[in-house]
Amino acid sequence: MVNLYFQPDAQLTVPDRMVLDILQKDYEHQQAKPAAASTETSDDSDDSTTKHTQYAPTPEDALEHEQQALTILKDLNNPTSSTFEPTVFVTVDLANITSPTLRKWIIDPYVRWARTIVRVDTDVVMLTHLLLYFCTSIPSALYMFYNFHWWHGPLHSAMQVYFMGTYTLMMHQHIHMRGILNKKFSIIDNGFPYITDPLMGHTWNSYYFHHVKHHHVEGNGPNDLSSTVRYQRDDVWHFLHYLGRFYFLIWFDLPRYFLSKRNPGLAFKACGCEIASYIFYYTMFTYVNTCATIFVFLVPLAIMRLGLMIGNWGQHAFVDEVQPDSDFRSSITVIDVASNRYCYNDGYHTSHHLNPLRHWRDHPVSFLAQKQKYSDEDALVFYNIDYLMITFSLLAKNYTHLAKCLVPIGDQMKLTMDERAEMLRRKTRRFTEEEIAEKWGKQYAKLK
């Protein structure tokens, strides 16, 4: 793959590999244009020189290949198709489990049963993980409160950190789709987050209120409490200010935001859930078991909030200087193992902002169907890097590495590596209040 600096990861999902392959063929076709012209010119040159023809797919070939890929991906998601394949585990695809005995007696019966429990047939993996958490996290936490050992605490917290990414993106689907289980299990579906959220570092309902009722309403604009536009996104001190405000003031800022929008009901609920969570932590810390509370609740809380802010910074670090309010130009797409295999296609963040209700398995399909629009809008696509590493690379001002991880589309294909790095650097510059007034409107700016 000539335009990809790094070898694609062997653990990429099937949809990610198909998307990356199509983007690669687009690049090969674009690069072959001058090569083809050069080959035609050389026909009049010295015949003793061996002539080589460079092959690149024609637009017709590429279009047919894209349509075939779209058909395959749609069939994989369609329960009525003979090639339908639910997601059962994040670590391995169902098609790669080839043991006849294992498939006949364990995997296939489990999948048939699980499909009657989950809300969407593809989402067997969510039941798999619910069972995993109820068989590991909850018993471990209960035993720690019953009989605490110092060796147990760090091991439990490490296990929870390992679970956090997958769990949080499962809950991301939960809060957007109002559940992940069949509606006949609504009591369980509505109840389990009150048990598992605190174990994974989430205060009760805060993810829903902040992400669905606030972030997607504001879309990283100036009124978004997690907006990046007023920050220099490659500045460590700016990031620390961004992180600190969320850590210490979100309990106050989010209700205040809802009050400013004349929605006292949401303000009361957001504040009430946050304060109730703190009261719960205080009670468990003071009156039940201090050490267990630290490792079961407080360590996950601290790590989760750090992870959320690092992730959101990476998701919205690159904001177009011309059209910063465009969903195509204020968020990015990441084709990566951690983001997509383990975290329910979270890498397709632009697709998610374009349609927050889109099911996670449909993101690659949507991306391919709108590929030309992504290209026309100068959207950014990365591979071999996740949001955390994007943030770390920015804070280290390592634009060369970020440029190497860029998958160029549209006019980006014409840029050299240095020009790609400079383009990315421009998109991390903070917006002044005057620019905010110009781009979003004077009502959004803090002008004197």
Contact by Cβ (8 Å): 393, 344: no
Q: What are phi and psi of 335, to 5 degrees?
A: -105, 95
Q: Does residue 260 belong to any structural domain of this protein?
A: yes
pLDDT-based confidence at 58, cuts 50/70/90?
Answer: low
Residues in a beta bridge with 332? 380
**Is the same domain home to 209 and 358?**
no
Block residue for tokens 């990365």: 382
219, exposed or middle or buried, with CB in 10 Å at 0-12, 13-18, 19+? middle
Report helix angle 152-177 to 299-315, nearest 10. 50
Q: Does residue 22 belong to any structural domain of this protein?
A: no
Report how many domains make up the chain: 2
pLDDT tens digit sequence for 257-299: 999 999 999 999 999 999 999 999 999 999 999 999 999 999 9
pLDDT tens digit sequence for 130-187: 999 999 999 999 999 999 999 999 999 999 999 999 999 999 999 999 999 999 999 9
CA 237 to chain centre: 25
pLDDT-based confidence at 103, cuts 50/70/90?
Answer: very high
Q: Give the structural domain span for 349.
A: 327-433
**Is the same domain home to 300 and 267?**
yes
- The tokens for 86 are 């639910």
How much is the pLDDT for 398?
A: 98
Q: Which of 273, 307, 341 is the last residue of a domain?
A: 307
**Is the same domain home to 402 and 345?**
yes
Q: Does residue 53 belong to any structural domain of this protein?
A: no
**Is the same domain home to 281 and 204?**
yes
pLDDT-based confidence at 54, cuts 50/70/90?
Answer: very low
**Is the same domain home to 375 and 406?**
yes
How much is the pLDDT for 5?
A: 84
Q: Does residue 54 belong to any structural domain of this protein?
A: no
For residues 383-397, give the mean pLDDT: 97
pLDDT tens digit sequence for 205-247: 999 999 999 999 999 999 999 999 999 999 999 999 999 999 9
In angstroms, the CA 82 to CA 72 distance is 11
**Is the same domain home to 288 and 215?**
yes
**Is the same domain home to 243 and 359?**
no
- Mean pLDDT (the chain) is 92
For residues 198-205, give the mean pLDDT: 97
Report helix angle 236-260 to 387-395, nearest 10. 120
**Structure-model confidence comparison of residues 27 and 70, the more confident one:** 70
Q: Which of 253, 275, 307 is the last residue of a domain?
A: 307
Q: Does residue 32 belong to any structural domain of this protein?
A: no
For residues 94-118, give the mean pLDDT: 97
**Is the same domain home to 253 and 357?**
no
Q: Does residue 268 belong to any structural domain of this protein?
A: yes
Share of the chain above pLDDT 90, in %: 88
**Is the same domain home to 246 and 370?**
no
Q: Which of 243, 276, 307 is the last residue of a domain?
A: 307
Q: Does residue 425 belong to any structural domain of this protein?
A: yes
How much is the pLDDT for 375?
A: 95
For residues 398-410, give the mean pLDDT: 96
How much is the pLDDT for 283?
A: 98
**Is the same domain home to 271 and 369?**
no
**Is the same domain home to 213 and 117?**
yes
The single-letter DSSP state of residue 406 is B
| Predicted confidence (pLDDT) at residue 53 exceeds the cutoff of 70 | no
**Is the same domain home to 344 and 382?**
yes
For residues 61-69, give the mean pLDDT: 84
pLDDT tens digit sequence for 14-48: 999 999 999 998 888 887 765 544 444 444 444 44
pLDDT tens digit sequence for 292-344: 999 999 999 999 999 999 999 999 999 999 999 999 999 999 999 999 999 99
Contact by Cβ (8 Å): 363, 351: yes
Q: Does residue 246 belong to any structural domain of this protein?
A: yes
